[in-house]
Amino acid sequence: MTPPGATFSGRIIMPRLLLLSCQNENESEADLNPTQRGYAPLMNDAISGQRVPNQPQAKKKAAKRNGSILRSPRLAGPHTVTTHFAPVLGKRFARDPENLLLLKMAHAAYGGLSRAGGRVRGRGANIFTQWLGDPDALGSAVVLSAILEHLGVEEIRILVGALGHPQNRNLVQRCGIVLHDPNSGRIAGGLNCLVDTSPPLGMTNTGLVQPVSRYFFIADHHSEPDEVEANCRSHGVKHVSNAFVGLPVGSTSAFMAVLGAAFGVIERLGPRGRAAAALGIYTDTSALLHGPTPLDFRMFEILTRDEATQDLLDELRDYRVPPEWFLYRTAAFEQMETRGAIRIAPVGFVSEELRDVIAEVASDLLRIEGTSIGIAIALTDRGTEVSVRADSRLIGGDQQRIVRVIDSLLEYAFPGVSGFKFERQPPHRVEGGAFVAHEKTRQMMLQSGTVEGLDSSDRAVGHCRACARSLIAALEDLRFARPEEIQGLL
């Protein structure tokens, strides 16, 4: 039987390549006994487009980077990996060269965690993720939790700051996931793990989490290893033992699920755990349509074989939202400003538990015919939040241009603070956001005169409108300064 993912094999965009060097090192390991052997600094060759590490080059680079913070067990050869995964995933899947790199990484993760087994027994573990938990983060955490439990870890806490979408609250409730506060709820001296986001904690989507300096295990498919290494270096992270960052997979849940399968814990997850992980794969790949790898397909299929899991997953997918959700959306579309192919919607104040409506508004702006860039702006308890969705297909030619335009608009409207982060998946689509903290937001409101004499909801709308106006001013500015840049957008 052909794995369902096989036909999508050419669709993986932005291969985030990891190369692991073959060096031994003696540096002490986070939270563990320093005699651990067989670990190597985690390498990232600057996206060479090749999946198979070039040995001499990898060795040269490793020598230069002996002091890497991110460490990872070395990758085994194809035969070992194929033999290990064939019983779990089927021979044909395990042998397919396209799956090899991911399976090598899963095998290395299996090895690293197994070897640590004896020393983690009886300890406590913290599983951190993004401040606002999404299904992929929650699904990954549930699987990791089962693996750690299997290894004898005594107490495990899943740490999530808040949930910004009704679907996620539903998921937590139905699947019985117990969440703890990332700051006050963590286990002191526990093994620190991080899933579906990269260290350091305390940056961007983990902005409110107090940082830690040592990590036991990390799995993420978002940031490039080089970037993570640099951020760790500049933010006081000292050591990461089992680092699997920049995973070339559509969802962290798929990687955690194959790791869980290697440990034989898929059964132990029960329908609730399996449904949580399957929903993680499902939402992060937009129903297995956006950037899924064969592993996403395979693990989704394996997780959802039994009827109880299927039924639960179906319920999770068919979620309900409170009426406010649509009030926010209505307000956004009523106040939407359009300039050419660019649409900007001021949403007003959004409460934290419905915060994901901001991204949903941005996605829906892009759904309107002829739109290349959709921007939603809202005020939350954290500050000003901006969500951006763009599609460069209408502008043709240099597709990188759309990112430059967004960057310059945000930089103009929120000078020095926008912190626009984005992902491209598939290559013509850009998803990202920017955030202006509370203090700076207050200053902006004072400057634009939206603080005095209005009630608070009007103030929030006024502020978002003022932001929309600055974005439009930035666009006008760009039209004169660099007309070629906005060709096809205005």
Measured from the CB atom, the residue of 123 and 429 that comes closer to Mn ion is 429
Map the footprint of Mn ion across residues 227-246, applying CB under 5 A: none
Beta bridge partners of 72: 40
Measured from the CB atom, the residue of 196 and 356 that comes closer to Mn ion is 196
Stretch touching Mn ion by CB under 5 A, among 76-84, 190-198, 313-321, 457-465: 190-198
Query: Is residue 23 within 8 Å of 37, Cβ to Cβ?
Result: no
What is d(CA 457, CA 488) in angstroms, rounded to the nearest whole number?
36
Nearest approach, Cβ of residue 286 and Mn ion (Å): 12
Nearest approach, Cβ of residue 75 and Mn ion (Å): 22
Nearest approach, Cβ of residue 242 and Mn ion (Å): 18
Site string for Mn ion, 299-318 (x = CB under 5 A): --------------------
Query: Is residue 201 within 8 Å of 211, Cβ to Cβ?
Result: yes
Stretch touching Mn ion by CB under 5 A, among 42-50, 251-259, 298-306, 421-429: 251-259
Nearest approach, Cβ of residue 62 and Mn ion (Å): 28
Stretch touching Mn ion by CB under 5 A, among 146-154, 167-175, 191-199, 367-375: 191-199
Measured from the CB atom, the residue of 252 and 470 that comes closer to Mn ion is 252
Nearest approach, Cβ of residue 231 and Mn ion (Å): 18
Query: Is residue 188 within 8 Å of 137, Cβ to Cβ?
Result: no
Measured from the CB atom, the residue of 30 and 201 that comes closer to Mn ion is 201
Instruction: Give me 13's structure tokens.
Output: 């965009």
Nearest approach, Cβ of residue 197 and Mn ion (Å): 8
Map the footprint of Mn ion across residues 98-157, applying CB under 5 A: 136
Measured from the CB atom, the residue of 281 and 379 that comes closer to Mn ion is 281
Query: Is residue 209 within 8 Å of 131, Cβ to Cβ?
Result: yes
Measured from the CB atom, the residue of 228 and 332 that comes closer to Mn ion is 228
Strands 429-437 and 383-391 turn out to be antiparallel
Stretch touching Mn ion by CB under 5 A, among 45-53, 198-206, 249-257, 402-410: 249-257
Measured from the CB atom, the residue of 297 and 349 that comes closer to Mn ion is 297
Residue 356 lies near Mn ion (rule: CB under 5 A)? no
Residue 296 lies near Mn ion (rule: CB under 5 A)? no
Tell me the residue number closest to Mn ion, measured at CB.
136
Nearest approach, Cβ of residue 134 and Mn ion (Å): 7
Measured from the CB atom, the residue of 182 and 291 that comes closer to Mn ion is 291
Measured from the CB atom, the residue of 283 and 441 that comes closer to Mn ion is 283
SS (H, E, C) the chain: CCCHHHHHHHHCCCCCCCEECCCCCCCCCCCCCCCCCCEEEEECCCCCCCCCCCHHHHHHHHHHCCCCCEEEECCCCHHHHHHHHHHHHCHHHHHCHHHHHHHHHHHHHHHHHHHHHHHHCCCEEEEECCCECCHHHHHHHHHHHHHHHHCCCCEEEEECCECCCHHHHHHHHHCCCCEECCCCCCCCCCEEEEECCCCCCCCHHHCCCCCCCEEEEEECCCCCHHHHHHHHHHCCCCEEEEEECCCCCCCHHHHHHHHHHHCCCHHHHHHHHHHHHHHHHHHHCCCCCCCCCHHHHHHHHHHCCCHHHHHHHHHHHCCCCCHHHHHHHHHHHHCCEEECCEEEEEEEECCHHHCCHHHHHHHHHHHCCCCCEEEEEEEECCEEEEEEEEEHHHCCCCCCHHHHHHHHHHHHHCCCCCCCEEEECCCCEEEEEEEEEHHHHHHHHHHCCCCCCCCHHHHHHHHHHHHHHHHHHHHHHHHHHCHHHHCCCC
Map the footprint of Mn ion across residues 451-470, applying CB under 5 A: none
Residue 96 lies near Mn ion (rule: CB under 5 A)? no
Nearest approach, Cβ of residue 348 and Mn ion (Å): 28
Stretch touching Mn ion by CB under 5 A, among 72-80, 195-203, 227-235, 405-413: 195-203
Residue 284 lies near Mn ion (rule: CB under 5 A)? yes
Residue 196 lies near Mn ion (rule: CB under 5 A)? yes
Measured from the CB atom, the residue of 23 and 285 that comes closer to Mn ion is 285
Measured from the CB atom, the residue of 14 and 76 that comes closer to Mn ion is 14
Nearest approach, Cβ of residue 129 and Mn ion (Å): 9
Stretch touching Mn ion by CB under 5 A, among 193-201, 292-300, 303-311, 436-444: 193-201
Nearest approach, Cβ of residue 196 and Mn ion (Å): 4
Number of residues lying near Mn ion (CB under 5 A): 4
Stretch touching Mn ion by CB under 5 A, among 105-113, 194-202, 439-447, 451-459: 194-202
What is d(CA 252, CA 110) in angstroms, rounded to the nearest whole number?
15
Nearest approach, Cβ of residue 221 and Mn ion (Å): 6
Map the footprint of Mn ion across residues 412-441, applying CB under 5 A: none
Say how many C-beta atoms besides its own lie within 10 A of residue 2's C-beta: 8
Measured from the CB atom, the residue of 96 and 284 that comes closer to Mn ion is 284
In degrees and rounded to multiples of 5, residue 62 shows phi and psi of: -60, -40
Residues forming contacts to Mn ion in the complex (CB under 5 A) are 136, 196, 252, 284
